[in-house]
Structures are given as structure tokens and as C-alpha cells.
Chain A
Amino acid sequence: MKRRDLYRYGTMLLGNLAAFTLAVPGVAYLFDPLAKKSKEGVFQPMAKLKELKVGVPVAVPVVEERQDAWVKYPKEPIGSVWLVRQPEGSKEPVVAFTTTCPHLGCAINLAADRTTFYCACHSSRFEFSGKPMNDVPPRAMDSLKVKITTDPDPVVMVKFERFRCQGKEKISLV
């Protein structure tokens, strides 16, 4: 009976050992995407300040190099930002928002009457200040960091970032 037990436990041990040894690299490989980080954005020129009119939002494409798994794409539009010039004397001369709706990630456009931002997916609506106008979006539009150069002809620089959808808090995806 002792020999039989040895075989029995031995079989279980060996079987589990093999399964475990295969499972370790398997799980590591499967969970590889969690180890991948998106790269941090840098400030890049979006428009000249004088080209922006107060209170008229403009969508400007963000042009960046992009690494998609193994493929390296040259500079091409990877997203857009909304630039809204603020009235003279405001704390920030220009406010920038991502075009990604904080609800479920669709693209935010201008509403047909061009007085509000509107997302066609689930009817999120925002003021030009980014403030939500209905209960669909969980938070205001995601603003981006803006820098204005000190040139004689100032340039609006924006640091492009992506944020997690849903939730009241704005959490960067970097």
C-alpha cells in the first residue's frame, strides 16, 4: 500500500509541477499588457495665439510619432484637442480640452448650434468652460496643460494626455 501511495502522490506532484511550470510564463505572457505603459506627452505647439478668437473653440490635431506594438508610425495625427481662447484679463489666456468624452470615450464635437460641446454617442453636453450640462458625463471635460510662449507672436503649447473614462476623478493613463 505504501508503494501505491508513493505513485499516487508522485503523480499528483509531477502533474501539478508541470502545470505550474507552464502556467508561470503563460500567465506572465498573458498579463504582459498590464506591464506596458503609455509614454508621457510633451508640450507641443498647437496654434498661434493670434489665430484664436475669444469664445470660439477650435479643434487642432495632435501630431506625434506612435508605437503600436511592433509598428513604429511616423508623425501623424493621433488625436485632437479643443482650444478655447478666454476673454482678455482671464487667468489663463487659452484653455485646452481633450476631445475624448469622460463618459465612455467617444469624440466630443461642437453641437449643431455651435454654442456648446456635444458628444453624439450618449448626448453628453458641456459648456465651453468644460462644465457638464447634463448628468450623462461623470465629470467636466478633461483639461490639458497649456503654455504660451513669450515670442512676439506667441504660440500655444499643449501637453497631450489621455485620461481614464468614467469616475468623478480625472486620472492620467500614463
Chain B
Amino acid sequence: MSNPLADWLDDRTGYRDLLKSVLDEPIPGGARLRYVFGAALTTTFLIQLTTGLLLMLSYSPSSSTAWGSVFYINEKMTLGWVIRGIHHFGSGAMVSLLALHLMQVVAAGAYRRPREANWWFGMGLMFLILGFSLTGYLLPWDQKGFWATKVATGIMGGAPVIGPYLQKLVIGGPDYGNQTITRFYGVHVGLLPLLTFLTLTAHIALARRHGLTPARNADRYPTGKHWPEQFFMNAVAGVGVFAILLIVVLSGHGANLDAPADPSSSDYPARPEWYFLSLFQLLKVFPGHFEVIATVAIPASIVTVLALLPLLDRLFPKKLAHFLACGFVFGLMGGVVFLSIEAVRQDLADTGFQADRQRADESRQRAILLAGDASVGVPPEGSSYVLLRDPLTHGRAVLEAKCLSCHYFDGKGQIPAKVDGKETSSPQVASDLKGFGSYSWIRGLLENPKSATYFGKASSCDGMVEWKKGTKLSSKELDDVAHFVATFAEIGPDTTPDEWLSQPGVDSHPGYKPFVEDCGKCHVVEGLTEGGLRDSPNLFAWGSTRWIRRMIHKPGSPELYGYIDEKDRMPAFSSDQLSENDIAMLIRYLKNDYLGAPQEGKETRSPQVAAKTDSK
């Protein structure tokens, strides 16, 4: 067994003595499974340390990059989702094991003399582990982490006197942002690991100094040694925890990443991580003025009682003190379990919460789809723009908020509230914008302008209705005109009427002649038709991005609907009311120009069907 190198090393360091003292540490009454919790916690902590270091290699802590980098780890890196999944669910494992360790220590009476100091180190470790959880939850900078952190730090801000200052200090300023992330990150990967390492060293050193607390029947069994019996049991426990962790990670394909943090969202159903649900539920029990009981008084009392547990022996007889301590801790755990189940039960029964959660999941899936698409990706401005630059998400939101109070889209207006589970739309006073500018929209208009889809609800726009009474265009000619007018939407932002007219395919289009002869009596297109029979909007580039933009900014201009009384006209939206991006996304949404948009002709209703159903 003589190894010259090991001998030399031992001569210089004396490592064999240390190793021997660890391996041969006596266990009164022999090895037992109940002693494994500390080792299991240490193992899980090492797993967290390893996966955490790996994640640090790819994570980027700033409000514009955090979400993107976590997305990249989760979706694009080889087995990145496994590493992040282990780290994410590992925090739950830490907290669970912590609770088990605590209960075991109290049940065994290991908190009392002479181990008081180590009980307090253990409590210190508990706070550090909860600190890891709180700071780590924010780091992906997704909706979940953002809102949960807002709530948690908000609670802190409610503390008497120092609360607001403390909150500002923790989040790095008056608002949540880059400084919040960098602070949380620094604490999570620097300060907490260092403190944990120091406290854990003290905790383990003290545990060894006092030895394991002998079980009550220990004297009936021979004294054992740590190696190999207890080590084996520790290994079984460690591997068991790791196996459960892996099963959770693999079965759910890693940890969720919610949509990027959006401080402007109003319907995100914020919930803390599951092991904080009891505190969340406690808040509901003490509403209003009594909230401080749930946020400060109860947690502070629990911590105080826990800290004083070892001193209970000085007040009461030994057995009674232990009974009280066990009663307190097990009662506490029972309360935590009860409140957590209650929180989940209430959420499951809450249809409003479920609907909000479903919307949040749709945003999450959309954001991940967009970020992963080669043609879209995460914009350089930051991950919050992933959804802000998405016509389906943002364009639709703008449409619903600003346009659907008058217009309809696909038969629906704004839905202010559900009445008896039935959706009731706001009344329609303008056209249905679904497919606006497309062939089928125009063809439907030419077939039945009185339909609610077109000008049926806008009584001051009766020109097309009047035209329909007198027109002699055949069905074929109407088809041609509709096809012709549908090409107007393609006219570019800088094209002049003359340039457009000289393009090939314009004057040879079958719809060109009937358009000029029939539509041109009222509608003006510079250089093509003169109108004059009735007031009507100029149709050059009608339905194109430039036309819609102008219609939104200045519907009352002479070439649009200036001839209609202002009170009957569409209201103008200034660039303060709708930003450039709002309008661009809105128009792209109307034009089906987004990732995953329905293919032309598939989703749009056929004009005849539309006209039929709308004229009922």
C-alpha cells in the first residue's frame, strides 16, 4: 500500500489523519438512515454549485439580455435544458431537504445543549438557502420572476421605517431593471455562495465536534463508524434525491421560461415558487391593515421562536420543553402544508386565474417560438422587444384596445366582460377589418356594401350602397375589379401614381377598364380617374401600409374622409396615442404579415359566404 507520492504528501500535509478522523468518526448505536439529511443537503448543494457554474458560462445579467441568454441555454444549447432544469428544481430539493433536516434535528432533540450554536448556524444556512431561491427566481427576467420579485420586494418595502429604503437598496434604485438584476446576480453567485461555504464549514465542524446525537436506543447496539456504513446510506440518499430531481427534469423537459418581463402587462397572475406558497396564502388570510401580521409579525415570531428553541430547556422540564419544541415545529410544517394546498386549491378553482395563466402560457410559447425562429430571433434592443415587435401579439393588442371599440374583427368587437359566461361585444359602428384590403374583402364589399362587415353600420358612408343600386357590372367584372383593387395594397411607400401606372400589368389588368369606367366616376386616382359624381376617398394605394397609416393619423384629410362630418368620421390617432411601432405592428397584423400567419385564401372567408352570413 506504500505510495511514495502519497507518503510525501501526507508528510507535508497530514491529510491521512484528517481523512481517518472523518472516516472513523464513531456513531453511537451504528449507522442509520435518519442521519442522512445533512449529507443529502450537502450533496444537493454541490449539484447546485456545479450546475450554477455551468449556467454562469452562458448567462448574461441585464434586463435586455437575461431572458435571451436563458432562452438560449434552454432551447439552443446541447442539454442546456437539463442543466437549467436541475438547477431550477434543485432549489426545491434544497428547501424540501432543509425542512426534513430541521424536523429530524428537532425530533432527535439535537438542537439542545450543547449544540445550541450549531442550531443557530443551521438557521443561518436556512436563510441563505431561502436567499438563493429569492434571488435566483428573478434572474431569467421572465414574467414569473419579475412579478414574484416585485411582490417579494414590495413586502420588504412595507416594513416599518426602514422598509422603503431597504427596498430601494435591494432593487438598486426606484425602479426594477438592470441594477436589480446585477445586484441579485452578484448576491446569488458571489455573496451567498461565500457565506454558505463559511457557515456550512462551521456547521459541519461543530457537528463533528459534538458528534451525532445518539438515538434513544443507541446503547442497545454497538458503536459504528462513519465509513463505510453511514457513507453508504448517505450515498443512497444523495443518489435518491438526484434521481428524483432528474425524473422531474426529464419528465417535464426542464424548467419553464415565461415570456420576457413586461412591466406594462396588467393580467399576469403572479405566484411565488411553490415552497413560498404558504406565505402567499397567509397574505390572503390577513387582508388590509392586518397584512403586516402575515408579512412581518408571523414570520418574525416564527424565526424568534425557532432561535430560542434551545433555551426552552431552561424554562421547562426537559421532556416538556422537547414536547413543546416538537409541537411547534411539526405544527408549523402542518400549517405550511395546509396553506400551500389551500393556495393551489383556490387557484385551481379560480377560473379568472386559470384564464390569466392560459394567456401567460400563450405569450410564453409565442415568445419562445419567435426567439427561436431564424428569421425573427431576439432583437438587439433586448428581449422585451420579442413580443413588442410581433404583429400577432402587439398588433392584435393595439387593434383590440384602440380599434375594436368601433370596428369589428372577424365578427367580434371589444369584449368588456363576460355576462353569464357569454361574451358580449361592444356595438359595431364601423367595418370589420378582418382581411381589409384583400381580394375577398373587396369582393364582399362589391357584392353587398350594406353588410355589417362593410358600410352597413356606418350610415354616413352610403356611397357604395347607392352605387350598388345602379351598377351594371357583371359578376365577372366585379371579380376583376376586386382583383385589381387588391393590387393597390402592394403599392410601395415611395411609388408615385405615374410610376405605378407605368408598371407592367397595371393597364393590361382585366379589372382596369371596369374600374376606370365605373368606380372612377366617384373615386379619384391621380392620372387615372377623376371622380366627381359623389364625394369619396381617393383610392390610390388603398389598403397599403401607407394608406392605412395615413387613415389612422389623418382620416379627415381631403383625399380620405374629409367630406364626412367630423362627428361621424373615424377619430384621428396622433403619434402620441399610437407609436410608430404600434401602427406598424397593427398594419402587419391586418395584413397577415407575421410568423405563423394563416396562408392566403385558407383562413379568409369566401366573399359570397361572408356577404350571405352578414346580410342576415
Count A-side interface residues using an 8 Å CB cutoff.
Answer: 28
CB neighbours (8 Å) of B374 from chain A are: 67
Within 35-79 of B, Cβ neighbours of A (below 8 Å) are at: 43, 47, 50-51, 54, 57-58, 65, 68-69, 71-72, 76-79
CB neighbours (8 Å) of A25 from chain B are: 79, 82-83, 86
* C-alpha gap A3/B172 in the complex (Å): 58
CB neighbours (8 Å) of B383 from chain A are: 70
A72 engages B379 (CB within 8 Å): yes
**Stretch of A11-19, A79-87, A142-150 that contacts chain B:** A11-19
Given the known inter-chain contacts A22-B50, A70-B71, A71-B378, please indicate yes or no for A28 contacting B242, CB distance below 8 A. no
Interface status of A112 (Cβ within 8 A of chain B): no
CB neighbours (8 Å) of B232 from chain A are: 6-8, 10-11, 14
A72 engages B235 (CB within 8 Å): no
* C-alpha gap A7/B77 in the complex (Å): 38
Within 1-39 of A, Cβ neighbours of B (below 8 Å) are at: 4, 6-8, 10-11, 14-15, 17-18, 21-22, 24-26, 28-32, 35
B78 engages A72 (CB within 8 Å): no
Q: Quick one: which of A17, A32, A71 has the most chain B CB within 10 A?
A: A71
* C-alpha gap A72/B47 in the complex (Å): 33
A21 engages B246 (CB within 8 Å): yes
What 0/1 pattern do residues 590 to 601 of B give for CB contact below 8 A with A?
A: 000000000000
A11 engages B235 (CB within 8 Å): yes
* C-alpha gap A18/B376 in the complex (Å): 40
CB neighbours (8 Å) of A14 from chain B are: 232, 235-236, 238-239
Which residue of chain B is the closest to A68 with respect to CB atoms? B380
Interface of B is mostly: helix
CB neighbours (8 Å) of A11 from chain B are: 228, 231-232, 235
In the assembled complex, the CB of A97 is this many whole angstroms from the nearest CB of chain B, namely: 29
Interface status of B559 (Cβ within 8 A of chain A): no
* C-alpha gap A43/B68 in the complex (Å): 31
Name B379's contact: one of A10, A18, A71 (CB within 8 Å): A71
* C-alpha gap A72/B83 in the complex (Å): 24
Within 369-392 of B, Cβ neighbours of A (below 8 Å) are at: 371, 374, 376-380, 383
Which residue of chain B is the closest to A34 with respect to CB atoms? B78
* C-alpha gap A45/B475 in the complex (Å): 48
Given the known inter-chain contacts A22-B50, A71-B379, please indicate yes or no for A29 contacting B79, CB distance below 8 A. yes
B50 engages A10 (CB within 8 Å): no
CB neighbours (8 Å) of A69 from chain B are: 58, 68-69, 72, 76
Interface status of B229 (Cβ within 8 A of chain A): yes
What 0/1 pattern do residues 44 to 72 of A give for CB contact below 8 A with B?
A: 00000000000000000000000101111
Within 222-245 of B, Cβ neighbours of A (below 8 Å) are at: 227-229, 231-232, 235-236, 238-239, 242
Interface status of B80 (Cβ within 8 A of chain A): yes
* C-alpha gap A7/B31 in the complex (Å): 11
In the assembled complex, the CB of B374 is this many whole angstroms from the nearest CB of chain A, namely: 8
Within 72-107 of B, Cβ neighbours of A (below 8 Å) are at: 72, 76-80, 82-83, 86
Which residue of chain B is the closest to A6 with respect to CB atoms? B232
Which residue of chain A is the closest to B55 with respect to CB atoms? A29
* C-alpha gap A11/B230 in the complex (Å): 9
* C-alpha gap A6/B228 in the complex (Å): 9
Name A18's contact: one of B79, B239, B371 (CB within 8 Å): B239
A71 engages B79 (CB within 8 Å): no
* C-alpha gap A35/B235 in the complex (Å): 34
CB neighbours (8 Å) of B86 from chain A are: 22, 25
* C-alpha gap A14/B51 in the complex (Å): 19
In the assembled complex, the CB of B240 is this many whole angstroms from the nearest CB of chain A, namely: 9
B68 engages A29 (CB within 8 Å): no
CB neighbours (8 Å) of A67 from chain B are: 374, 377
A22 engages B69 (CB within 8 Å): no
CB neighbours (8 Å) of A32 from chain B are: 77-78, 80
CB neighbours (8 Å) of A31 from chain B are: 78
A72 engages B228 (CB within 8 Å): no
In the assembled complex, the CB of A22 is this many whole angstroms from the nearest CB of chain B, namely: 6
* C-alpha gap A29/B59 in the complex (Å): 13
Which residue of chain A is the closest to B77 with respect to CB atoms? A32
In the assembled complex, the CB of B594 is this many whole angstroms from the nearest CB of chain A, namely: 16
In the assembled complex, the CB of A3 is this many whole angstroms from the nearest CB of chain B, namely: 9
A72 engages B50 (CB within 8 Å): no
* C-alpha gap A25/B72 in the complex (Å): 16
Which residue of chain A is the closest to B235 with respect to CB atoms? A14
In the assembled complex, the CB of A93 is this many whole angstroms from the nearest CB of chain B, namely: 33
Which residue of chain B is the closest to A76 with respect to CB atoms? B380
A18 engages B238 (CB within 8 Å): yes
* C-alpha gap A56/B231 in the complex (Å): 76
Given the known inter-chain contacts A11-B228, A25-B82, please indicate yes or no for A70 contacting B54, CB distance below 8 A. no
CB neighbours (8 Å) of B228 from chain A are: 4, 7-8, 10-11
* C-alpha gap A18/B65 in the complex (Å): 33
* C-alpha gap A87/B238 in the complex (Å): 75
* C-alpha gap A71/B381 in the complex (Å): 9
CB neighbours (8 Å) of A15 from chain B are: 235, 238
CB neighbours (8 Å) of B71 from chain A are: 70
CB neighbours (8 Å) of A70 from chain B are: 65, 68-69, 71-72, 76, 371, 377-378, 383
CB neighbours (8 Å) of B376 from chain A are: 72
In the assembled complex, the CB of B454 is this many whole angstroms from the nearest CB of chain A, namely: 38
CB neighbours (8 Å) of B57 from chain A are: 30
CB neighbours (8 Å) of A17 from chain B are: 239
* C-alpha gap A6/B78 in the complex (Å): 37
* C-alpha gap A4/B23 in the complex (Å): 13
* C-alpha gap A102/B423 in the complex (Å): 68
* C-alpha gap A149/B151 in the complex (Å): 63
What 0/1 pattern do residues 293 to 318 of B give for CB contact below 8 A with A?
A: 00000000000000000000000000
CB neighbours (8 Å) of B77 from chain A are: 29, 32
In the assembled complex, the CB of A65 is this many whole angstroms from the nearest CB of chain B, namely: 9
B229 engages A22 (CB within 8 Å): no
A29 engages B54 (CB within 8 Å): yes
Name A30's contact: one of B54, B235, B238 (CB within 8 Å): B54
A-side residues, CB < 8 A to B, are 4, 6-8, 10-11, 14-15, 17-18, 21-22, 24-26, 28-32, 35, 67, 69-74
Using A18-B239, A70-B72 as known contacts, list a sample of 14 further A-B pairs with CB atoms less than 8 Å apart, ordered by residue number in A: A6-B232, A7-B232, A14-B235, A18-B235, A21-B246, A22-B50, A24-B79, A26-B54, A29-B78, A29-B79, A30-B57, A69-B58, A71-B379, A72-B376
B-side residues, CB < 8 A to A, are 43, 47, 50-51, 54, 57-58, 65, 68-69, 71-72, 76-80, 82-83, 86, 227-229, 231-232, 235-236, 238-239, 242, 246, 371, 374, 376-380, 383
Provide a sorted-by-A list of 19 A–B residue pairs whose CB atoms are within 8 angstroms: A4-B228, A7-B232, A11-B228, A11-B231, A11-B235, A15-B238, A18-B235, A22-B47, A22-B86, A22-B242, A25-B79, A25-B83, A29-B78, A30-B57, A32-B77, A32-B80, A69-B58, A70-B371, A71-B380
The 7 closest A-B pairs by CB, nearest first: A72-B377, A70-B68, A7-B228, A7-B232, A14-B235, A70-B72, A25-B79
